[in-house]
Structure formats: C-alpha cells, structure tokens
C-alpha cells in the first residue's frame, strides 16, 4: 500500500512541480511563472516523462496567457518538440550538467524575442536578469526532480 503511494507521488511530481512553479509567480524572481519552463524542458527533452508532452503544451499556453506574449512559448515548444523528435544526432539525455547548455539554447531565443518585442532599457535589463535567474535555478530544480523520481 505505502509502496503504491510513493510510486504515485514519484510519477506525479514533475506535473506538480510545473504547476507550482507556474502558480507561484513573483515579480522579481519568477515573473508570470516563467520558472515553470524548467520542468517543461527537462521532462520533455532531457528525461522524457510519459504523458508529459500534452501537459507541457497546456502549461506553455497558460504561461503565454499569464505573460501576455500571444502564443510565443506554445509555438516555440511545438517547434522544438517536433525538431527533437525528427532529429537523430543529438541525445540530450546524456549531456553534462543535466542539459543546462541545451536549456540555455532553448530559452535564449525566446527571451530575446520577448525583449525585442518592446525594446527599452528596463525591458532589456529585466529580460537579461530573468534569463540569468532561470538558468541559475535550473540545476537545483532538475536535481530535485531527479532525486524524487529516483533517477
């Protein structure tokens, strides 16, 4: 009985973490729940979780809604997901630092696009600071997911 509960909690943990990071938004460290992009990337591309892709698509849509960026993250996620499923040469599950550099390459263009939508000094420094915070919190979040999932 206890084993089944623990197994269930391990399975739903990435889903719960994504929802929590999206919901716990703060204007200076997690604006509009942007940190939810970390488990979306990790559980979709680096260590794929079964049935996570449809959930990640919905979460990208909710992230777009909360940010007010149209369908930026939703379309970007779909494009990267399609490209990752069509390619045969890049294996993100065996990258160093839990795929941090791949995450930076994934999130960087989207952040640049968001910065250049309304270019001014405040938006530029805010976008750069948000990118740095998201990349700095990537490793602790991924390690937490791995520990709970027993990977």
Residue 151 confidence (pLDDT) = 60
Give the pLDDT confidence score for residue 44 in this predicted structure: 93
Q: State how far the Cα of 151 lies from the Cα of 146, in Å rounded to an integer.
A: 5
Question: Roughly how many angstroms between the first and final C-alpha of the chain, as a whole number?
Answer: 22
CB 44 within 8 A of CB 57: no
pTM of the full structure: 0.92
Instruction: Give the orientation angle of helix 100-117 with respect to helix 121-149, to 10 degrees.
Output: 150
Query: For the purposes of burial, counting CB atoms within 10 Å of the CB of 100, is it exposed (0-12), middle (13-18) or buried (19 or more)?
Result: middle
pLDDT confidence of residue 112:
93
pLDDT 10s digit of each residue in the chain, 151 long? 888 999 999 999 999 999 999 999 888 788 889 999 999 999 999 999 999 999 999 999 999 999 888 899 999 999 999 988 877 677 777 888 899 999 999 999 999 999 998 889 988 999 999 999 999 999 999 999 999 988 6
CA dihedral (12, 15, 19, 20) positive or negative: positive
State residue 138's pLDDT score.
Answer: 96
Is 100 in contact with 107 (CB distance < 8 Å)? Answer: no
Q: Where are the alpha helices (DSSP H) in 24-120?
A: 37-41, 52-67, 72-86, 100-117
Coil, helix or strand for 50? coil
| pLDDT for the residue numbered 13 | 95
């Amino acid at each position: 009985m206890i084993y089944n509960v623990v197994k269930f909690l391990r399975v739903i943990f990435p889903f719960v973490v994504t929802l929590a990071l999206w919901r716990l938004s703060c204007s200076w460290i997690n604006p509009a729940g942007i940190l939810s992009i970390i488990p979306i990337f990790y559980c979709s591309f680096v260590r794929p979780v079964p049935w996570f892709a449809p959930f990640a698509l919905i979460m990208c849509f909710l992230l777009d809604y909360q940010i007010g960026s149209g369908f930026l993250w939703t379309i970007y996620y779909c494009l990267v997901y399609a490209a990752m499923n069509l390619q045969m040469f890049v294996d993100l599950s065996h990258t160093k630092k839990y795929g941090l550099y791949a995450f930076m390459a994934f999130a960087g263009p989207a952040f640049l696009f968001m910065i250049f939508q309304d270019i001014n000094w405040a938006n530029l420094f805010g976008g750069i600071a948000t990118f740095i915070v998201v990349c700095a919190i990537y490793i602790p979040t991924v390690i937490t997911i791995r520990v709970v999932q027993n990977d």
